[in-house]
Chain A
Amino acid sequence: MTESAFINITELTREFKNKTALEQITLSIQEGELFGLVGPDGAGKTTLLRILAGLLQITAGQVVAAGYDLNKEPEEIKPHIGYMAQEFSLYEKLSVVENLMFFADLYNVDVKEQEDRIQKLLSFAGLTEFKNRRAAHLSGGMQKKLALATTLLHEPPLLLLDEPTTGVDPISRREFWNILTDLHLNGTTIIVSTPYMDEADRCSRVGLMYQGELVICDSPVNIRNLLDGDLVKITTSDWQEAHTVLAPLAGVKEIQTYGEALHILVDSGKTRLPQLTRALKEHNLAVDEARTASPRMEEAFISLIRKMDQVN
């Protein structure tokens, strides 16, 4: 762990009444990182972000962020972060501009600059033509962009974004990530949580959370390389039957199901693909698609989580 890290989390534990939401998390994040927190619902992402935002008390451990010890100075860090809650948390009865003005006041944005900055953020978020529309009447994607814009008003050095793209259409998601990449390139430290594994690929570093623990924390490339072997994708007429047929075959390490498709982790794609398709045909299963593919983060994560579940 480096002394100069922007955020230092040491053996952080957070307990709720009868639930340990975070267990002994140790993690440090450098200034300027675009850090992705990935994990299924209930993994503890929100709890971790809330602690970093000074919103939740720390049960045990130490968190120092942007120079503030969050055990002692949870209020002091607040002017220096931009926090976007998981749920839409702006005022539905206020217009886009009114919401921005409200938070500009709360964050003491320089009055002379306020107007200018709001205009810039509106065009940055593509909301200029909707600026007088009530927040309640914005689409999900626009609401998320407005929420992001409000967190940027005071130009915070640290952005904490909790599932900013959940429930947003794919195009808006892509736009949103383009904005995040811009901010990242401008040097803002960003921690963003997401349940979508594919989004993790756009981060400089990713932490996988599962049941309150930080399972792994590394760059996307390194995480993908954790999977030794190749991936074979097969779509058949009956995935359940196919699963039973393929699982015991030689060279098959793991099978993950994605809807109708099976993602099969094998020691070598080239040699195993023909063997697998042959086995399926022998069982009279129609093969719609069968090809090798390079493993993604998603497969790597699921594989890791499976191993964890087997240990427990």
Chain B
Amino acid sequence: MSFRHLWAVTRKEIQHIFRDRATFILVLITPTVVLLLMTYTLAVNIEHVPLAVLDYDQSPTSRAFIQRITAGEDLDLYSQVDSIAEIEDMLIQGQVKAAVIISPGFSRDLLSLQGIDLQVIIDGTEPESGGFAVEHIGWRAEAFANEILADQFQIQGIPLESLQPIDLRVQAWFNPGLKPIIDLVPGLISIVLGFPALTVALTLAREHEHSTMEQLLVSPIKRTDLLLGKIVPYILVGLLNVMLIPIFAILWFRVPFQGNFLVFIALSAIFLFAELSMGMVIGVFMKSQSAALAMSFLVVMFPGFFLTGIFFPITAMPEIARLESLFLPGTHYAIITRGVFLTGIGLETLWPNAVMLLIIGTAFILISALFFKKRLA
């Protein structure tokens, strides 16, 4: 292993990334743009979700609340019902996608600052609109509570600044596969980071096409140094994405970030190593950029969509697909991003995924080195 050789290749590749417009766009712009596009495509499709409301409280406050949550374009009041049985009927017949149950103590609990206990039932067969409903009911409830309480505080002469965040307990029933936008965005990150991997797959082919490969192969560089030297720069620019994307996710889509940012960056670096090594395996076998591109879509992008559990739960997959998903870096990274973003778990829970990513990455690098010959034809 020669660090001089490794660095020479890395430096050259970074210069290429920043000087070649197509490469620059592919590795530094595309991931964020695709993330935005995909999130929007999935988000704008959901509007006017029909709701059933079961109001046990029957108070002016609860009626005002119902009015409030159904005031926008996002949620529509389909029907006010009197029993849970009715809700079930409507859910089964698809008349409503979600139902809100207001408990008898709603108004009392709210005004006594105990927090409101809302139950939300959603249609498990349509987790997208269900999750959307849960999220939006949550926002509305919070705004509503804040307003009511602000009035209350003013009457009692308590300064507004001392207002504490309201503890909202939104429960969702029979929805193990719940996927609101905030859950989707962290998962999508692992898909869009496939673009740097795709670029890695192209870099060897590019050298073949420009016959710079010949000059590389005739030099005394070791093949592992060459392959790693080509992966490292893409890990670095991949990490730029990893920093850019959460900013969008947090500021734009208001996805919470509960975990430790440094842990997230470190785990992302390991993921990128695994994902890019996978791209490198493709690069070793494909001699033209177009072939490498097609293969990357087949091997990196599509499985990233279908097999990593981002859209379709892994538990529902056939045995073989489940096994394959274990060897896809995206599967582990989806667990990592969701954990770090949404629940704030750290290395103590995620280390097996980190270890698995290291194993996958090393295995792919070894396979690449094994099949990469320092010879022509």
Contacts and interface: CB of A to CB of B under 8 A. Distances in A.
A244 to B, nearest CB: 45
A87 B15 CA distance: 22
B348 interface: no
Contact of A56 (B7, B211, B377): B377
Chain A at the B interface: SS class: loop
B15 A105 contact: no
Given A54-B218, A89-B212, A16 B15 contact: no
B374 A75 contact: yes
A18 to B, nearest CB: 13
Interface string B180-192: 0000000000000
Given A57-B375, A85-B215, A105-B4, A93 B210 contact: no
Given A93-B20, A108-B220, A56 B212 contact: no
Contact of A89 (B7, B215, B375): B215
Greatest chain B CB density within 10 A among A78, A89, A101, A150 is at A89
Contact of A90 (B15, B215, B221): B215
A81 interface: yes
B12 interface: yes
B5 A105 contact: yes
Given A55-B376, A89-B215, A94 B220 contact: no
Contacts of A92: 210
A94 B7 CA distance: 15
A101 B7 CA distance: 12
Greatest chain A CB density within 10 A among B8, B11, B220, B221 is at B220
A56 B375 contact: yes
Contact of B7 (A83, A87, A88, A105): A105
B220 A83 contact: no
Given A55-B218, A79-B220, A105-B8, A98 B211 contact: no
A107 interface: yes
A91 B215 CA distance: 10
A92 B374 CA distance: 22
Contacts of A311: none
Nearest to A150: B215
A107 B375 contact: no
Contacts of A106: 5, 8, 216, 219-221
A58 B2 CA distance: 29
Contact of B218 (A16, A83, A93): A83
A102 interface: yes
Greatest chain A CB density within 10 A among B4, B16, B210, B219 is at B219
Contacts of B213: 89
B89 interface: no
A103 B219 contact: yes
A98 B13 CA distance: 12
B374 A85 contact: no
A258 to B, nearest CB: 32
Contacts of B15: 93-94, 98
Interface in A70-88: 74-75, 78-79, 81, 83, 85, 87-88
The bracket for how many chain A residues form the interface is 20 to 34
A99 to B, nearest CB: 9
Contacts of B377: 16, 56
Contact of B4 (A50, A54, A90, A108): A108
B112 to A, nearest CB: 68
Interface in B1-39: 2, 4-5, 7-8, 11-12, 15-16, 19-20
B214 interface: yes
Interface string B93-109: 00000000000000000
Contacts of A89: 210-215
B269 interface: no
Given A50-B376, A85-B214, A93-B15, A107 B220 contact: yes
A53 B212 CA distance: 15
B20 to A, nearest CB: 6
Given A16-B377, A56-B376, A89-B210, A78 B220 contact: yes
Contacts of B2: 108
A91 B374 contact: no
Interface string A104-131: 0111100000000000000000000000
A78 B211 contact: no
A92 B210 CA distance: 9
B12 A94 contact: yes
A168 B212 CA distance: 20
Given A16-B377, A105-B8, A91 B16 contact: yes
Interface string A164-179: 0000000000000000
B217 interface: yes
A93 B219 contact: no
A85 B219 CA distance: 12
Contacts of A57: 375
Nearest to B23: A93
B371 to A, nearest CB: 16
Nearest to B2: A108
Contacts of B211: 85, 87-89
A132 B219 CA distance: 24
Contacts of B217: 55
A75 B375 CA distance: 9
Contacts of B5: 105-106
Greatest chain B CB density within 10 A among A102, A107, A150 is at A102
B219 A78 contact: yes
A27 to B, nearest CB: 21
Interface string A36-60: 0000000000000010011111000
Given A81-B218, A87-B214, 12 more contacts: A57-B375, A75-B374, A78-B220, A83-B215, A88-B211, A89-B210, A91-B16, A92-B210, A98-B12, A98-B15, A105-B4, A106-B219
14 contacts: A54-B218, A54-B374, A54-B375, A81-B218, A89-B211, A89-B215, A93-B15, A93-B20, A101-B8, A105-B8, A106-B8, A106-B216, A106-B221, A150-B215
Interface of A: 16, 50, 53-57, 74-75, 78-79, 81, 83, 85, 87-94, 98, 101-103, 105-108, 150
| 3 nearest A-B pairs in the assembled complex, by CB-CB distance | A105-B8, A106-B219, A89-B215
